[in-house]
Structure 1
Amino acid sequence: MDRRLTPTTDRVALESLCGVIERPAYTPGHPARLTVPLADLTATPDGRRDRQVNFGADVTVIETRGAWCFVQAALDGYCGWLPAAALGHDLLPVTYRVTAPATHVYPAPDMKQREAASLSLGARLSVAGIEGRFARLATGGFVPVQHVGDGPASDPVPVAESLSGTPYLWGGNSRWGIDCSGLVQAALTACDISCPGDSDLQRDAFPAVDDIRRGDLLFWPGHVAMAMSPDRMIHATAWTMSVIAEPIPEARARIEADGTAFLGIRRPPLAQAAALA
């Protein structure tokens, strides 16, 4: 079983795995939500980052070990460790999400106030009301209404383009740093299209096609890009250590110059509705 998607530690597994994986204990798990702007999801407690989770992300806690919790993310089923201090258990209804590349949370509905926190694209929000040009969060603070929305985007390409120039970060999932699969997941998730977290999982998730259309995914070993058109793509690349757009023929020639094989084209559904909350 793929450890990234298997909700078990060496000691505790979700009850759904009883009879499938032998563990000393099984649990139904309990729900929690990320209450900090961004947190690394690590392979071991305080270990290497696999991915990141953004503010408001829902998880199922499977085991707590000291200051760390082993969780499974509701967004994509990814499993790993998060700091226990980053999780809360007051699961208010999620009504909005951040639609801008990034935004600030202010202590009052006043842009001249010193910001209390910064949130990235896709952060999930419980909005208690609108006060002028600010959304008041039930968890405290105010976010500019221009930066939030209560429905999905219609096209993942502009979402990906909004993150142009974002620094490349292995395992990153935010405006502060993102990798190739994180960019694809952020763009598709904004459109309510379910998408795994890593490029190999993304390749397995969508059907293969022969022609390139806007929104298609292009794959190489360990790398994925999104087509903006039949001849142009956007991706987070270690070549420039940033998110860039470039012609597909030029990118393919550079990537494949050392013998790296092109793995083909996959097509996500562009109208796969999912519940926001």
Structure 2
Amino acid sequence: MTLDRRLTPATDRVALESLCGVIERPAYTPGHAARLVVPLADLMTAPDGRRDRQVNFGADVTVIETRGPWCFVQADLDGYCGWLPEAALGTDLPPITHRVTAPATHVYSAPDMKQPEQASLSLGARLSVTGIEGRFARLATGGFVPVQHIGDQPAPDPVPVAESLAGTPYLWGGNSRAGIDCSGLVQAALTACGIPCPGDSDLQRDAFPAAEDIRRGDLLFWPGHVALAMSPDLMIHATAWVMAVIAEPIPEALARIEAQGGGPFLGIRRPPLAQPAAMP
């Protein structure tokens, strides 16, 4: 059996107990729960290796192996596996109540916009809010964020979510306002609406049913690339062509990508309109 390493919670030494009898490893573990306590962390192929994806503040993970200052984890959001610094994780897991709904926000040291900011958080960061002080939400992890930038309900439409990230610089494997790639943009838009979505474009293509005509909210695929349809004629995507998130007419994109040798158009996939996943 060939397992996708991105979704297989196992290193060369240790695997999750659920894989006992499926793959052979020297040891198996139930793992333990942890949460990202830094604004953003790379999820890497090896300790201090290449970035595969990123995880945002408040992301829950299962720790499978700790090796020196590194942990091998599986992200609860989409099952993606990789290495990140142990120092980026905490084991205090207060209930998550909200997510960041703005493209980005700041964590302030006090409920006052004139006070020093402590950190910057991106769209989708998960928060535990313990109270409201004026126009700021107090976080269990410390600090305050503007109430205008957070929410406890899913967004109704992924297209405006993606549009809010227009101009974000392109970053391979990126998942934040600081930098994002094509599949990261799609995942951010869909998960903001409570729609489960894998992290990479090939996994996204496999996750949703095919469609014949292009509608708002559909996903458009090329080899190694995905875009979100804003309408039958317009799409938004994070593209290395201009190294940013842009809106582009679909006919022009089809012609340009073909002319640049980006491979054939692979078709349309249609995520569900309902929000089956729990929020936040």
Q: CA deviation at 1:258?
A: 3.8
1:73 corresponding residue in structure 2? 75
Per the alignment, residue 172 of structure 2 pairs with 170
Deviations 1:1-26 (A, max 9, x none): 00000000000000000000000000
Q: Which residue of 2 aligns with 1:199?
A: 201
> What's the secondary structure of 2:255's corresponding residue?
helix
Q: 8 Å contact 1:94–1:276 — kept in the other structure?
A: no
State the match for 1:270 in structure 2: 273
How far apart are residue 165 of structure 1 and its match? 0.0
Please provide the CA RMSD for this pair.
0.6
Q: 3-state DSSP class of the match of 1:265?
A: strand
For the 8 Å contact 2:54–2:174, the answer to whether it is kept is yes
TM-score normalised by length of structure 2? 0.98
Give 3-state SS (helix, strand or coil) of 1:116's partner.
strand
Q: How does 1:1-277 map to 2 (within 5 A)?
A: 1-259=3-261, 260-276=263-279
Give the Cα separation in 2 of the matches to 1:86 and 1:12: 21
Output the amino acid matched with 2:234: R
Paired-residue identity, %: 86
Structure 1: stretches of 5+ with no match in the other structure: none
Local SS of the residue matching 2:15: strand
**Quick one: which amino acid aligns to residue 171 of structure 2?**
L
Shift of 1:265: 0.2
Deviations 1:179-203 (A, max 9, x none): 0000000000000000000000000
Mapped partners of 1:4, 1:177: distance in 2: 21
Greater shift, 31-40 or 249-258, is seen at 249-258
On the 8 A contact 1:44/1:80 being kept in 2, the answer is: yes
1:276, distance to aligned residue in structure 2 (A) = 2.5
Which secondary structure state, in structure 2, belongs to the residue aligned with residue 51 of structure 1? Answer: strand
Aligned-partner Cα distance in 1 for 2:185–2:43: 17
Could you give the per-residue CA deviations for residues 38-70 of structure 1, whole angstroms, max 9, x where no partner exists? Answer: 000000001000000000000000000000000
CA distances 1:147-176 after superposition (whole Å, capped 9, x unpaired): 000110000000000000000000000000
Three-state SS of the structure 1 residue aligned to 2:35 is strand
State the shift of 1:114 in Å.
1.3
Matches of 1:23 and 1:130 in 2, distance apart? 49
How far apart are 1:272 and its partner, in Å?
Answer: 2.9
3-state SS of paired residue (2:172): coil
Question: C-alpha distance in 2, partners of 1:90/1:63?
Answer: 19
- The one-letter code of the counterpart of 1:162 is S
Equivalent pair of 1:165/1:243 in contact (CA under 8 Å): yes
1:257 Cα deviation from its structure 2 partner:
1.2
Structure 2, unaligned runs of 5 or more:
none
**Aligned length in residues:** 277
